Structure 1
Amino acid sequence: MQLPIIDLVVFLIYMLAIVLFGASFYFKKRSADDYIRGGGRLPSWAIGMSIFATFVSSISFLALPGSAYLSNWNGFVFSLSIPVAAILAVKFFVPLYRGIKNPSAYYYLETKFGSWARTYASICYLLTQLARMGAILYLLALPMNALFGWSIPLIILVTGVSVLVYAILGGFEAVIWTDAVQGIILITGALTCALILVFSMPEGPMQMVEIAKQDQKFSLGSFGISLSEATFWVILVYGLFINLQNFGVDQNYVQRYLSAKNDKEAVKSTLLGSLLYVPVSLLFFFIGTALYAYYQAMPGLLPEALSSIEEADKIFPYFIVNGLPTGMTGLLIASIFAAGMSTISTSINSSATILLTDHVKKYLRPNLSGKGEMKVLFLASFFMGALSIVVALAFSGVTSALDAWWALSAIFSGGILGLFLLGYVGRNIRRKFAAIGVILGVLVIAWMSLSPSLAEEQSWSSPFHTNLTIVFGTLVIFLTGFLLSALYHHRNGKK
């Protein structure tokens, strides 16, 4: 399938413009502080849009409509947990990190449990970001390859290098401002697509609602108490833990808390970015449902090759190419790339910050000069970006990249939230008991993540739904560290 010239021009102009815009911030940087947090002078609305854009990756842009098309709005329950996590974030986490005034999210863990905790958490974060960036680049390339025949390695290379250029040259300010632009393009594109879908129904907009209601497409899932299925409660609890991890210990978010002008602005940006995702994610689910109704009403428009369950994530891109006016298709494809690029640029900058603060300055060059810090940040950004491209290319041999990403992220990020909560909520927690908790928690996470596909005997396989992995892992770490410390203090007569 050939992309019309006008759409291709729109898409290429967008890609070139965003790279040049981001790279232009190279001439505004003056120090490592500018590179890491924009000098703490960024407006709250731009930071909020960046937080929102970090939430939305190309995985969300394609997978959420695909999920709604295939089933219902069960996945939207995840978004319902965000307001709770956001309120906890602005009440506890934002003041905590702005009070510490350290660019690393993991310095706090060092103050509680020693250097091992900071190093462990930072390494887990870096591995998670590599897996995340690689999965996003690869999953971004799949529908473009299927629709246009574009080479998957070529898409990965072009997208990865484009982000790498402006993330390296522009630093944190480039990340924030390009995220803001990309977030606006993303929302505009999705809204336009939803309106066109609804008003393209043969019998009018209400036909979409009738078809969706008839096939229970608006359902939020079962309200049963099963722990082996994706019930309403399983998704809600999963969402709460994931979002607490995002707001509490993810460098991507902590760096944004520190970039605001003051505490009030930091709170405003956090609430804007997190709460904006709720209606936008609802919009994505609505698009998926509208696509279902659209192709139910006009089944002849959908090729038989896309009618299988495995092809659900390609339905939205197919409509973008075949159901939108010329020119609008280019904008929507740009929106998909915007969703991926904003997340990747964030990960590159935040990962470089962690490499500088938690590894180079801590262990190799504690008294590094300002110029030396900038050199490390440039090299670290290049290293992480280039490595993410390699990881994306390696995903080509994986049967299900999305399943692989979920498994890897659960293992690599395992334990950080539990360790953070242990330090934040617990009092007088012994370091060795925290370490024991982390070891046990990671073992539980590895078992729940890998046993369903690796265990030969069903008795060894985890009976729980995979979304509960982070829940049980976090609870094991927290309860182990807390209870062992409480028992120790009790035996030794200490409070």
Structure 2
Amino acid sequence: MEFTAIDYSIFALLLVLSSAIGLFYALSGDRQRTVQEFLLANRTMSFLPVALSLLATFQSAVAILGVPAEIYRFGTQYWFLGCSYLLGLLIPAHIFIPVFYRLRITSTYEYLELRFNKTVRILGTVTFIFQMVIYMGVVLYAPALALNAVTGFDLWSAVLTMGLVCTLYTTLGGLKAVIWTDVFQTLVMLAGQLAVIVVGAQRVGGMAHVWRLAQQEGRISGIDLDPDPFQRHTFWTLAVGGVFMMLSLYGVNQAQVQRYLSARSEREAKLSCYAVFPCQQLVLCLSCLTGLVMFAYDQQHPLAPSGRPGFSDQLVLYFVMDVLKDLPGLPGLFVACLFSGSLSTISSAFNSLATVTMEDLVRPHYPGLSEPRATLLSKLLALGYGLLCLGMAYVSSMLGPVLQPSASLAWWGAHSWGSSAWACSSPAPTPRGLQKFYSLSYMWYSAHNSTTVVLVGLLVSLLTGPTPAADVDPRTIYPVLPRLLCCLPPKCRRGLCCGGDSPDQDAGPRHTEAKSNGVANSLGPPRWPGEEEGQGYIRREGAPTCALQETSF
């Protein structure tokens, strides 16, 4: 199972075209001469490329390998993850995007300083950098390792070529190049998966036969309503726990928020969330169908025991190379699909790391930094993180047997929480109760972590006292409860808001507008009684401090 010259040519074409996009944006427009153009694409992007870029960042190579293997081994229960996509995108569209976009921030961690203090911002930034640097090495190395084991594709040639090409177009073309290469790479990913499904289904007698065989063998799962959070996949872990996972990705992740902020308007940013929903459903459908076709093919053309892969992340590649071996070019297309997932994820990481380093660590200490120097420094940061990624790939290779079980165990969860896979493979003995805790379904990790943060924050607030209302920037607050209670009588709303004032819903929701140089700007949520305009945003005087009445994130 080796590559032909045509396969290598298709793979090389992916790298050449990705580099060409970066060069085009480096030499066109304003030629990446400002920080805003380099890091935010001058805030000129329309919703469709932003949506496809959001999708590409989410659809990493580990997901392309992991989801079909999950369906092949355990059935279609994972498909119910699609139920979480609706709320997982509506909430960011209507709560997170309006706040982030109207604050005109560049780094999501700027919000933490506006809402809390500078220390919280720095801690958030450092944690993000540490996690992403480790994650980049795994994302770059693990797919190349799996590919090398199956096809003999030279491991370090793949790692170095992919890492250097990704660094090149990210450093030269900025976020605009990253977004448009994501669009191109998304199309490659869809084409590669579709080719495998069509050819594989044809080899086993058609998709109807695939589905019928999967039903006979118990691979088509019904709705499992078991509420046990320690069950790996049930309807609740996927549909409810998946919402929190989606919020961690599409609500507050720097790479995704940066794409929202690159949109030309708040409306375009919201539309990108809506547009990515059907795209995500399509990608999930293709991945699950690939798993079913793999299962049907294996029933008719089983591999010898000695030929079976040692790790689940190699299942898809063994299947692809076997089913496409007599069709020159298609194995290369799938490998291009696989590495498109890695390129899109890694380029997003480079750009977001350069952004948070520049905005959170450099600019606050050097406020007088000129625009040309700040732009050059941003490009050097992207370059530096690209080279660091190659170093982390080498470190990943030194982990030996730790990397492979951890990656194969949590392929599908790695994009959300890269560190979860490492904990799962720890050989250290643990107390019985703690061992049970560690068996919590990985789909509940985001929900568990979010709940822990809220509870600890409330406890500390009770011990230290509430923040005075005058010290809270109202732009950082989204009035969730008043919106949810808008249909109740005013008396009930006041009671549920701890006796404080509630929004003037009788007049209907409305936005205030302030004019600056003759341009009207929407400034956010409905005004409360006693609100005044000032300093470019709504200032609320004597605002109630009820925790139920307002929500920050």
| TM-score bracket for the superposition, by shorter chain length | 0.7 to 0.9
Partner of 1:44: 47
SS at the partner of 1:200?
helix
Measure, in 1, the Cα distance between the counterparts of 2:143 and 2:425.
28
Distance 1:271 1:305, change over 3 A: farther
Distance 1:46 1:92, change over 3 A: same
For the Cα contact (< 8 Å) 1:136–1:340, is it kept in 2?
yes
Task: Give the CA deviation at 1:62.
Answer: 0.7
Distance 1:305 1:389, change over 3 A: farther
Measure, in 2, the Cα distance between the counterparts of 1:451 and 1:459.
18
- 1:314 equivalenced with 2:314 (yes/no): yes
Distance 1:49 1:328, change over 3 A: same
Partner of 1:92: 95
Measure, in 2, the Cα distance between the counterparts of 1:411 and 1:280.
17
SS at the partner of 1:362?
coil
Instruction: Single out whichever of 178-187 and 226-235 deviates more from structure 2.
Output: 226-235
Point out the structure with max Rg over C-alpha.
Answer: 2
Measure, in 1, the Cα distance between the counterparts of 2:387 and 2:238.
34
Partner of 1:354: 356
Task: Give the CA deviation at 1:297.
Answer: 1.9
Q: How does 1:214-363 map to 2 (within 5 A)?
A: 214-219=216-221, 222-232=224-234, 233-299=236-302, 302-307=303-308, 310-324=310-324, 325-363=327-365
Distance 1:410 1:455, change over 3 A: farther
Task: Give the CA deviation at 1:454.
Answer: 2.6
Task: Give the CA deviation at 1:484.
Answer: 3.8
Match of 1:485 among 461, 469, 486: 461
Distance 1:494 1:307, change over 3 A: closer
**1:94-122: per-residue Cα shift (whole Å, max 9, x none)?**
11111000101111111111011111111
Unaligned runs of 5+ in 2: 469-543, 547-553
SS at the partner of 1:123?
helix
SS at the partner of 2:75?
coil
**1:131-190: per-residue Cα shift (whole Å, max 9, x none)?**
221111112112220123233233211211111111111111110000001001111221
- 1:389 equivalenced with 2:363 (yes/no): no
Measure, in 1, the Cα distance between the counterparts of 2:15 and 2:90.
36
* Letter paired with 1:375: L
- 1:80 equivalenced with 2:56 (yes/no): no
Partner of 1:420: none
Measure, in 1, the Cα distance between the counterparts of 2:185 and 2:213.
33
For the Cα contact (< 8 Å) 2:72–2:291, is it kept in 1?
yes
* Letter paired with 1:73: T
Measure, in 2, the Cα distance between the counterparts of 1:100 and 1:409.
33
Instruction: Single out whichever of 155-164 and 349-358 deviates more from structure 2.
Output: 155-164
SS at the partner of 1:231?
coil
Measure, in 2, the Cα distance between the counterparts of 1:275 and 1:120.
36
SS at the partner of 1:329?
helix
Match of 1:465 among 440, 450, 458: 440
**1:299-334: per-residue Cα shift (whole Å, max 9, x none)?**
2xx3434435x4332232223323222122221111
For the Cα contact (< 8 Å) 2:22–2:177, is it kept in 1?
yes
Measure, in 2, the Cα distance between the counterparts of 1:122 and 1:407.
25
Partner of 2:120: 117
Aligned length: 458
SS at the partner of 1:481?
helix
SS at the partner of 1:42?
coil
Instruction: Single out whichever of 343-352 and 227-236 deviates more from structure 2.
Output: 227-236
Match of 1:455 among 429, 434, 443: 429
For the Cα contact (< 8 Å) 1:93–1:247, is it kept in 2?
no
* Letter paired with 1:392: A
For the Cα contact (< 8 Å) 2:353–2:382, is it kept in 1?
yes
Measure, in 1, the Cα distance between the counterparts of 2:41 and 2:335.
29
- 1:164 equivalenced with 2:167 (yes/no): yes
Measure, in 2, the Cα distance between the counterparts of 1:494 and 1:378.
43
For the Cα contact (< 8 Å) 1:398–1:404, is it kept in 2?
no
Match of 2:207 among 205, 208, 211: 205
Instruction: Single out whichever of 341-350 and 120-129 deviates more from structure 2.
Output: 120-129
For the Cα contact (< 8 Å) 1:83–1:275, is it kept in 2?
no
For the Cα contact (< 8 Å) 1:66–1:316, is it kept in 2?
yes
Task: Give the CA deviation at 1:39.
Answer: 0.6
For the Cα contact (< 8 Å) 1:75–1:220, is it kept in 2?
no
**1:180-208: per-residue Cα shift (whole Å, max 9, x none)?**
0100111122122211111221x443221
- 1:70 equivalenced with 2:73 (yes/no): yes
Partner of 1:438: none
Partner of 1:417: none
* Letter paired with 1:85: G
**1:41-60: per-residue Cα shift (whole Å, max 9, x none)?**
11211111100101100001
SS at the partner of 2:203?
coil
Instruction: Single out whichever of 176-185 and 261-270 deviates more from structure 2.
Output: 261-270
Q: Identity percentage over the alignment?
A: 25
Instruction: Single out whichever of 228-237 and 381-390 deviates more from structure 2.
Output: 228-237
**1:55-101: per-residue Cα shift (whole Å, max 9, x none)?**
10000111111111111123333332121110001111111111000
Partner of 2:22: 22
For the Cα contact (< 8 Å) 1:55–1:277, is it kept in 2?
no
Partner of 1:8: 8
Instruction: Single out whichever of 311-320 and 49-58 deviates more from structure 2.
Output: 311-320
For the Cα contact (< 8 Å) 1:57–1:340, is it kept in 2?
yes
Partner of 1:372: 373
**1:403-451: per-residue Cα shift (whole Å, max 9, x none)?**
656999999998xxxxxxxxxxxxxxxxxxxxxxxxxxxxxx99x9469
Please give the root-mean-square deviation of Cα atoms over the aligned residues, in Å.
2.8
Measure, in 2, the Cα distance between the counterparts of 1:171 and 1:409.
28
Measure, in 2, the Cα distance between the counterparts of 1:411 and 1:173.
26
For the Cα contact (< 8 Å) 2:64–2:287, is it kept in 1?
yes
Measure, in 2, the Cα distance between the counterparts of 1:413 and 1:114.
26
For the Cα contact (< 8 Å) 2:11–2:332, is it kept in 1?
yes
Measure, in 2, the Cα distance between the counterparts of 1:459 and 1:411.
25
Match of 1:193 among 177, 189, 196: 196
Match of 2:450 among 468, 474, 494: 474
Measure, in 1, the Cα distance between the counterparts of 2:315 and 2:277.
27
SS at the partner of 1:341?
helix
Q: TM-score, normalised by structure 2?
A: 0.77
Task: Give the CA deviation at 1:391.
Answer: 1.5
Measure, in 2, the Cα distance between the counterparts of 1:450 and 1:11.
34
For the Cα contact (< 8 Å) 1:223–1:231, is it kept in 2?
no
Measure, in 2, the Cα distance between the counterparts of 1:412 and 1:55.
7
Measure, in 2, the Cα distance between the counterparts of 1:326 and 1:408.
28
SS at the partner of 1:139?
helix
Q: TM-score, normalised by structure 1?
A: 0.86
